[in-house]
Amino acid sequence: MQTLVLGGGCFWCVEAVYKMIPGVVRVESGYAGGKRERPGYEQICSGATGHAEVVKITFDPAVTDLRTILDWFWQAHDPTTLNRQGADVGTQYRSVIFFQSPEQKAEAEASRDAAQTLLGKHIVTEISPMPVFWPAESYHQDYFANNPGNSYCAMVVRPKVEKVRKKLADPNA
């Protein structure tokens, strides 16, 4: 198994998207990239810790590859907005790829360059070495699946999930 840690706005959105991708065996919401040990959600929301909301994705390379994981990343959020995704604003919502090897770094950079060409806009995604990953509180895990009636889930997460569902059903869409 391989792992990659990604931040693309609210971790509820990113987690829900990656749980649908063939070959992904586990997705865990958490925090990374900040100064505080064992941060909590309230501290992260203040923006003072420097952490981003992230997901740790564990995938089976016999089923999917790193490039595919990264391709979904560029589709699952807007990598051209600095420290924001929609109404979620702050460094905790930044677009970030935390790599764990020189190979992951090279693949992330190549993937970013290809996505930038496709988008035709400057991508602001941070690509940095993997810091300590702190798992989020248990109520954040599988949030969309456990809270489908939540208004944020209905208005923000569900449209992203539907977009991915359509793309999985028809890759040419």
The mean predicted confidence, pLDDT, of the chain is 95
Domain ranges of the chain: 2-169
Q: Does domain 2-169 have CATH number 3.40.50.1100?
A: no
Neighbouring residues of 126: CB distance < 8 A, sequence distance ≥ 6: 33, 94, 95, 96, 97
Q: What is the pLDDT of residue 130?
A: 96
Is the pLDDT at 50 greater than 90, yes or no?
Answer: yes
Give the pLDDT band of residue 170 (cuts 50, 70, 90).
confident
Selection from 102, 167, 4 nearest residue 14 by Cα: 4
Q: How far apart are CA 157 and CA 62, in angstroms?
A: 29
* Residue 77 CB-half CA count within 13 A: 34
**Residue among 10, 13, 45, 153 flagged as catalytic:** 10
The predicted-structure confidence for 112-143, as pLDDT tens digits, reads as follows: 999 999 999 999 999 999 999 999 999 999 99
Give the pLDDT band of residue 156 (cuts 50, 70, 90).
very high
Is residue 119 within 8 A of residue 80, CB to CB? The reply is yes
- DSSP for residue 163: H
The predicted-structure confidence for 86-121, as pLDDT tens digits, reads as follows: 889 999 999 999 999 999 999 999 999 999 999 999
Q: Is residue 10 flagged as an active site residue?
A: yes
Q: What is the pLDDT of residue 119?
A: 92
Predicted TM-score of the model (pTM): 0.94
